[in-house]
Amino acid sequence: MAATTATDVWCHIHSFLIPQALISAQKLGVFDYLEGRDGQSVTCVATALGSSVRATRQLLDFLVCLGYLGTRKVTADPTASDGDVELYFNTDVTSKHLTINGPLTLVPILRNVDCRLYLAASDLLSVVSSKYEGRQRKTGWDTSTPAPVRKQFLAAMKSYNQVWQIPAIIQSFDLSTFPTACDLGAGTGDVAYALSKRYPDMNVTAFDLPHIVKEIQEKPNEIPCNVLFRGGDFFTEKLPPADRYILANIIHDWPENKVDMILSNAFKALNRGGAILLAELLVDEDDPENIHGQMFSILMLSVLAGQQLSSKGITQLLLRHGFKNVEIKKQPNSMADVILARKP
């Protein structure tokens, strides 16, 4: 990803075409049409989707270069001078992550980029050139967000949880010694549900803003018996008592003064001997080529005035708020690392 030539610079300048290609292909239905089919010609794809054959070929060829599609040639007419036909098919990564029914689909994240983040991130210049602490944050969860946009945001967070957060949290630490837990900023409750399944004797509270909780509770049959949703604001209200608090992708959403408020409230409400568990993608100084972490940090800055922290930074932050015995479990090839710290 590092630029060393003029051609590299050109590619970076025009890299906005990558999400545009993915968004266009997903909206057209390219990936879902190809899924389960043993290769299709560009003519078949264009006819099925009602698109231009020439333009579709250019889009498919770009997706091949990016690794999202593969090709193979078959001979349609051995007697013709040019009897070879190129067939396009989904690669494994596309089948898994870019089809609507893929086992670890990222389609909701792609849609969230299209409807919200693509435009929001275009404000980066004004964020960097001004004091952004007092700026209007472009959240996806508050009551001022239109309901369809908020729904898309929550779907994206659900996808993020399923692909990265939940596996990282479940695999990193044995949490069986904690009889109660509270997921702060629980969203759709996926982390809470995963914990309730992994630890059936644990009582889990899913804590989020009242309007988010109301939307989730409209589907009561999906809520496990050992999960309780509770509405509130982790800035202004006393938190539900628990032996362990979970903050999954919460710290990176907020500027430093707001993070201090969250951790201060959590430390006060946490039962003595309890622990706080954070799931955050860490960006360490000794890993300058961590492009995923740097991109995520810039995204948080441009949209929410937040940032991704380093291992050292998050350790110092937790110690400053009174937590002890900070443990960090880095997750290879993941968008979530896991940090555990205890209240003495």
Higher pLDDT, 338 or 220: 338
Percent of the chain with pLDDT over 90: 71
pLDDT of residue 110: 96
Q: What is the mean pLDDT of the chain?
A: 90
pLDDT of residue 128: 84
- The DSSP call for residue 234 is T
Q: How far apart are the C-alpha atoms of 216 and 233, rounded to whole Å?
A: 16
pLDDT of residue 30: 98
Cβ proximity of 282 and 110 under 8 Å: no
pLDDT of residue 137: 60
Note the maximum CA span of the chain: 81
Q: How far apart are the C-alpha atoms of 2 and 196, rounded to whole Å?
A: 43
Q: State in Å, rounded, how far the first CA of the chain is from the last one.
A: 44
> Could you tell me which residues come within 8 angstroms of residue 163 by beta carbon, excluding any fewer than 6 positions away?
97, 104, 106, 335
Q: How far apart are the C-alpha atoms of 297 and 281, rounded to whole Å?
A: 9
Q: Is the pLDDT of residue 77 over 60?
A: no
Determine the distance from the C-alpha atom of residue 22 to the mean position of all C-alpha atoms in its chain, rounded to a whole number.
16
What tens digit of pLDDT does each residue of 25-53 get? 999 999 999 999 999 999 999 999 999 99
> Could you tell me which residues come within 8 angstroms of residue 205 by beta carbon, excluding any fewer than 6 positions away?
180, 181, 182, 183, 192, 227, 228, 229, 230, 240, 242
Q: What are phi and psi of 27, to 5 degrees?
A: -65, -40
Angle at CA 115, nearest 5°, toward 102 and 123? 125
Q: Is the pLDDT of residue 291 over 80?
A: yes
Mean pLDDT of 73-100: 83
